[in-house]
Every structure is written in structure tokens, then in C-alpha cells.
Amino acid sequence: MAGKGGATPSTYAPSPTTQKTKSLIFGNNDVDWVRSDGREFHQCRPAFFKTGAVNCASGSAYAEFGNTKVIVSVFGPRESKKAMMYSDIGRLNCDVSYTTFATPVRGQGSDHKEFSSMLHKALEGAIILDTFPKTTVDVFALVLESGGSKFSIGF
């Protein structure tokens, strides 16, 4: 029961690496389960981060999780283009897009709109828009390569 006094949070502890993880998909206990990229069940993708990837942005980062590569740029807070409309709180605009070579299948479909909405929801709690009246903060995420771990980047 969350919020009750004396409750302890649940923790995740992977099994020791000496113990083999069995198949979870087929239920066959005689076969070791290994991911298609060679990782075992409890292994994380290798990660790499670099800040300051875009010079003209207020803040930016380049991130890799396995074969997924993303550049994220933040611009603002800056004066809103809709300056004629007064607002006590600032605006947050998020856009997620893919390069044409990011996935083996051409065309983005509607994924980029869904990911833009997810990024907006994730950031709106972290950015205190009340402190930026009549301003806009723009966040752009460009997926350079999609290797199956798009959600772990922060979308």
C-alpha cells in the first residue's frame, strides 16, 4: 500500500550472473534466453551521452542506447510568437522526428506525433512554466537511428 507509514518500496534485484536465465517466451526451461542483440535478459544496452551537441541551442545532448541514436535540442525560454495573446504561464512545444534512414521501413507513420505527446507529458512536470509568462520553450528530438530502445531515451 503506497503512502502508508512503515511501507517499504519494492526493489528490483537481478539474479546473479552465474545463474542462467531460462526462456520466458516459450516456457522451455532447457533453452537459455538471450536477446537478438546478444544481451542476456538482465543486461542493459550500452549507453553513451554527450552534452552540448548543438551549438546554437540553449541546451542539447546526444544519446546512444545500443543502436538507438538521438539528438535533443532545447531552445528558450524565448518570447512567444503569439505575444499579442497574454498568458500567465509559458508554452512548451515538443517535436520528435526521424531521419529518413532511422528505420528500415520508410515513412514515420503517426509514431512521431505519439512520441511528441509523450515527451511533452514527461517534461511538463519538470519545467515550471509559471515562472516564464509570455514565453515559449521548444524541445526537438531527432532520432538518427532507431535500434529498438526509443522509449528508454526519455520519450
Run means of pLDDT, 10 residues per run, the chain, 155 residues: 42 46 47 72 85 94 90 92 72 91 69 89 90 90 80 47
Distance (Å, whole) CA 97 – CA 113: 8
User: Residue 37 has what pLDDT?
Assistant: 73
What is the pTM for the complete model shown?
Answer: 0.69
Contact 53, 137 (CB under 8 A): no
Domains of the chain, CATH where assigned: 14-43 (no CATH), 47-153 (3.30.230.70)
CA distance to 19, 38, 41, 105, per residue, from 23 (Å):
13, 14, 9, 29
User: Residue 40 has what pLDDT?
Assistant: 81
Which amino acid, 122? A
Helices (H) and strands (E) in the chain, counts: 1, 5
